[in-house]
Amino acid sequence: MPILDLRSVPEPVVHTAELIGHLDEVFESGFGRLSSANLQTLASLAASFAGTPLAEPLDAAIAGLGRSEFVDRHFAVIAAARAAAHGAMHDALVAQASAALSRPRPELEALAATPGQAAPPRAAVLLESVRQWLMELAIAGFANLEVGALLPFQATLDAIMAEPALVRHAALLSGFLDELLTVFPAHGKPEVPRLRWVDLWARAMVLSLAPPAPAATREVKGELRVFATDLRQHDHVVSLVAFGALHEPGKPARVVRTQVSAFKVDVLQGDDIAGLLNEVGGKLLEAIAGGQGVKIVGMLLHATGDLVWQEARAEVLPAKLKLAEEAAAVLTSPTPLRPSARPEDRHPAVIEELVWLPGDAYAAAGKEARELSLGGQMFPVAFERWPSSDDLQFADLTGSKGLVALLRFDGGRWALQPVMIDKGKPLPRMIGTGLQSARGKAKGGNLATLKERAGKLLRKKS
């Protein structure tokens, strides 16, 4: 089984991860108090970029930080270098996975630049505030943060949320701030999830270097058949990601990805999510629940294979599909045009290579599905990514006829995250199949209660 080749990791990837690990120690203790060991780490970071376009700015930034020159451009360069190192890891890992799976590497679709609306001038001001806040975090160090240093950023975040051009920033930063506040202040010294927080920090910094430019897209006409889903959420955003085969007239079927997301508050969970997502992706939920295709006319597709979901351009088709067959057909030898990441977004964590495993290729190992047996050899399951939902459970693996999994890289190893399990019934098991029926229940749910209670307070004021 070639996928078993992925039980080892290329040597350069391991080395790069070590280099990043050392850099992250500086973020934990803080750039405001650089030790000699920290300075050495920064010097070896600079050395590994020798001869690249980042070498000169990196030298200047590290020299400046050594002199306690705390300006955001120095931190921007550090973030860019870290992102570039992760980008190189991403590319090496995607090459390894593509070779193991005997498929071409994913490619960005060549699209002509499309005129779009540039971000409004105030976006630049808000992003400057973001960089400032991120710089303060890095100077203090994650181990030394105080809640007083975190709270004022909420005001900037409120303004970012009110700016549609910065929706990506809003989703990332609200999750990051919330996570920092969850840990601080805690009992004693908090345990800092270093790699994760520096990832989020660097991601936010790179994303905030300049206002987002409109991305190139093209209009798509055809049928989308969703065969796998994943749910992502933090206290303030919930996001349903759907993977499917796109059939365009006169072109081979290809895999695309689409995503519907809603902002929320912590108490909105479970059935309440359905009500929130219904507003932006009701037809997508309907198609997922029914195992039906969606006719799309004029939806926009990014070069990365990301379809921008637009309700008005979707029509759920009546026919029930054989989704397991659909997935097997399009994933057995996928085209280079499949979901991927833009160069600036590349990071091992964003790798999600879709694979189809027929029923005789795997067996569930143990009750908790920490591993899959692939022809007698164990392969890790991305257990920590398994959402808590009745729609897709560990038990579904037993006696299943096939599955779709996302091949992921996290914690220094490859793992499979099952995102659809074929039980031999018309509708496969996947996240979101239950959201459609939960929509009705959500009508009188917590969201309505919150708004009604707030209304009472408003009225009492007069």
Per CB under 8 A, contacts with other proteins among 122-151 are 151
Interacting residues with other proteins between 220 and 239 (CB under 8 A): 231-234, 236-237, 239
CA 110, 349, 160, 306 dihedral sign is positive
- 3-class secondary-structure state, position 64: helix
Which of 324, 420 has the CB closer to other proteins?
420
The span of 12-20, 41-49, 278-286, 324-332 binding other proteins (CB under 8 A) equals 278-286
First to last CA, the chain: 71
**Which residues are registered as beta bridge partners of 228?**
243
CA distances from 361 to 172, 256, 355, 374, 400 (A): 37, 25, 12, 6, 11
Q: How far is the CB of 226 from other proteins (least distance, A)?
A: 14
Looking at 320-445, list the stretches that DSSP marks H as alpha helix, in order from N- to C-terminal side: 323-332, 435-442
Interacting residues with other proteins between 12 and 71 (CB under 8 A): none
The span of 16-24, 46-54, 159-167, 287-295 binding other proteins (CB under 8 A) equals 159-167
Between CA 451 and CA 462, with CA 457 as vertex, the angle to 5 degrees is 130
Q: How far is the CB of 357 from other proteins (least distance, A)?
A: 21
Q: How far is the CB of 205 from other proteins (least distance, A)?
A: 12
The span of 47-55, 245-253, 326-334, 446-454 binding other proteins (CB under 8 A) equals 446-454
Cis status of the peptide bond prior to 121, with omega within 30 of 0: no
* Residue 399 in tokens: 């006696």
Which of 61, 341 has the CB closer to other proteins?
341
By CB under 8 A, how many residues form the interface with other proteins?
A: 77
Which of 42, 157 has the CB closer to other proteins?
157
Question: DSSP string of 8-62?
Answer: S--HHHHHHHHHHHHHHHHHHH-GGG--HHHHHHHHHHHHHTTTSTTHHHHHHHH
Distance from C-alpha of 128 to C-alpha of 112, rounded to nearest angstrom: 30
Which of 31, 197 has the CB closer to other proteins?
197
Which of 105, 196 has the CB closer to other proteins?
196
Which of 269, 373 has the CB closer to other proteins?
269
Interacting residues with other proteins between 382 and 421 (CB under 8 A): 384-385, 387-388, 410
The span of 23-31, 73-81, 82-90, 381-389 binding other proteins (CB under 8 A) equals 381-389
Which of 310, 373 has the CB closer to other proteins?
310
The span of 1-9, 47-55, 80-88, 166-174 binding other proteins (CB under 8 A) equals 166-174
- Amino acid, res. 163: E
Q: How far is the CB of 95 from other proteins (least distance, A)?
A: 20
Interacting residues with other proteins between 179 and 218 (CB under 8 A): 179, 182, 185-187, 193, 196, 199-200, 203, 207
**Which residues are registered as beta bridge partners of 363?**
373
Q: How far is the CB of 113 from other proteins (least distance, A)?
A: 18
Which of 154, 398 has the CB closer to other proteins?
154
Please report which helix (H) or strand (E) contains residue 156, including its range. helix 153-161
Q: How far is the CB of 358 from other proteins (least distance, A)?
A: 27
Find out whether 185 and 63 touch, Cβ atoms under 8 Å. no
Question: DSSP string of 271-290?
Answer: HHHHHHHHHHHHHHHHHHHH
The span of 57-65, 107-115, 273-281, 431-439 binding other proteins (CB under 8 A) equals 273-281
Given 58, 134, 226, 260, the residue binding other proteins (CB under 8 A): 260
> Is residue 316 at the binding interface for other proteins, with CB under 8 A as the rule?
no
Which of 48, 389 has the CB closer to other proteins?
389
Q: Which residue has the tokens 């008005």?
A: 312
Which of 268, 435 has the CB closer to other proteins?
268
Question: DSSP string of 89-145?
Answer: HHHHHHHHHHHHTT-PPP----------PPPPHHHHHHHHHHHHHHHHHHHH-GGG-
> Is residue 167 at the binding interface for other proteins, with CB under 8 A as the rule?
yes
Distance from C-alpha of 183 to C-alpha of 30, rounded to nearest angstrom: 17
Q: How far is the CB of 260 from other proteins (least distance, A)?
A: 5
Interacting residues with other proteins between 333 and 352 (CB under 8 A): 341, 345, 349-350, 352
CA distances from 52 to 13, 22, 23, 59, 317 (A): 18, 20, 19, 12, 52
Which of 6, 277 has the CB closer to other proteins?
277
